[in-house]
Amino acid sequence: MRVTVKLFATFRDGRFKVEEKNLSEDSRVLDILQLLNISPEEVAICLVNGKDVKEQHLLKDGDTIALFPPVGGG
Amino acid sequence: MTIEGRYVRNKKTLTDEDQHKLANSCVAIVGCGGLGGYIAEELARIGVGRLVLIDGDRLEVSNLNRQIMATELNIGQWKVEAARDRLRSVNSEVKVEIIKEWFKEEKGPEMFQEVDLVFDALDSLATRVELERVCHSLKLPLVFASIAGWFGQIGVSLPGDFSVLRLFGRGERGVESTWGNPAFTPAVLASLSVAEGVKLLAGRMPALHRAWLQVDLLTMEFERFEINNT
């Protein structure tokens, strides 16, 4: 299946802004994180098609995944 | 000191009625660093009647790169005192109250007596979540903003929302611990916060209720995301 991965803020550093990825069926958000060398603890927000999900969330063909690191400074 | 014509250039962005509402409003700013300093400056200039500044920290050399209240002359001073001194010369009609303490959940009701609106300008993820909880229990609207490097987030949390919990509920520190905070990011995010806050004080709907704006000053992209309470 094909999914679109969007990265935000510092996750773009050394990676990309938006890319399409081919994944095997039954892939989860966690598999994308592994592919991108991002540990689950580094993720503040993970949206799939605009909805909050956990890293165990099962992906479907055509999904758009958006990943945000924590931005907490003041 | 009342100066005739001080708010002339707020027109017609703000009506006389809006200006009157601002003058009769009390706003708390929690955190008086990069974001909080600019927020206080803009609220004083635009004519909010009363400001409560909360921060338990003193100015240090590393604040000079971005904090508008920090100068080479006031290093070591309490941040809220430095802010009060500057605001006095900017707009002496504004009553500025200072609290030289860190925000804590149990102190919220005392700190926010007579407050109409709260700005979250904190730098701790966990304390941001506590602040939202307190604001909701006191039925207070909250404008939150955060910064790290070229990036920022800003939104509005009204009682019943859990926007801050959704955005900042995971982890202890953000990527600002490695990316720092350059001068332009707090200035931009503070201005966006004040624009939303002024709408709330004037009784208008904010644009970022149950949403946040993801700000990227490297690519100059501003993207809005909805926060669905599920």
pLDDT of residue B3: 83
Residue in B120, B121, B152 closest to A71 by CB: B152
Q: How large is the average pLDDT for residues B200-207?
A: 98
Judge whether A52 and A45 are in contact, CB under 8 Å. Answer: yes
DSSP B161-204: --HHHHHHSS-SS-THHHH---THHHHHHHHHHHHHHHHHHTTP
pLDDT of residue B171: 77
For chain B, what percent of residues have pLDDT higher than 90? Answer: 95
The conformation of residue A53, written as its DSSP 8-state character, comes to -
pLDDT of residue B204: 97
pLDDT tens figures, A19-68: 999 999 999 999 999 999 999 999 999 999 999 999 999 999 999 999 99
The residue segments making up the domain with residue B136 are: 9-226
pLDDT of residue B92: 97
pTM value is 0.96
Residue A23 lies in a domain: yes
Q: How large is the average pLDDT for residues B61-80?
A: 98
Residue A50: which CATH number?
A: 3.10.20.30
pLDDT of residue B229: 62
Domain count, chain A: 1
Residue A73 lies in a domain: no
Q: Tell me if chain B has a CB within 8 Å of the CB of A15.
A: no
Residue A42 lies in a domain: yes
The residue segments making up the domain with residue A57 are: 2-68
Cβ atoms < 10 Å from Cβ of B205: 10
Residue B3 lies in a domain: no
Residue A50 lies in a domain: yes
Residue B136 lies in a domain: yes
Name residue B189's amino acid. Answer: L
Helix H or strand E encompassing B28: strand B26-30
B126 to each of B33, B40, B45, how far by Cα in Å?
17, 23, 31
Domain count, chain B: 1
Strand order across the beta sheet in which A64-68 lies: A18-22, A2-7, A64-68, A45-48, A51-52
Residues from B contacting A (CB-CB < 8 Å) are: 31, 33-36, 120-125, 128, 145-153, 166-168, 170-171, 173-176, 178-179, 181, 186, 214, 216, 219, 223, 225-226, 228, 230
pLDDT at residue B1 is higher than 90: no
> How far is residue B162's CA from residue B126's CA, in Å, rounded to a whole number?
14
Residue A74 lies in a domain: no
pLDDT of residue B56: 98
Residue A11 lies in a domain: yes
Judge whether B41 and B119 are in contact, CB under 8 Å. Answer: no
List chain B residues with CB under 8 Å of A52.
166, 228, 230
Residue B107 lies in a domain: yes
Q: How large is the average pLDDT for residues B117-131?
A: 97
Residue B63: which CATH number?
A: 3.40.50.720
pLDDT at residue B210 is higher than 60: yes
pLDDT tens figures, B139-195: 999 999 999 999 999 999 999 999 999 999 987 789 999 999 999 999 999 999 999
Report the Cα–Cα distance between both ends of chain B, in Å, rounded.
50
Both structure tokens of B151: 């990036």
Residue B2 lies in a domain: no
What ipTM score was computed for the predicted complex, to two decimals? 0.94
How does the average pLDDT of chain B come out, rounded? Answer: 96
pLDDT at residue B230 is higher than 70: no
Q: How large is the average pLDDT for residues B64-77?
A: 98
Residue of B nearest to A17 (CA): B219
The distance between the two most distant Cα atoms of chain A, rounded to a whole number of Å, is: 42
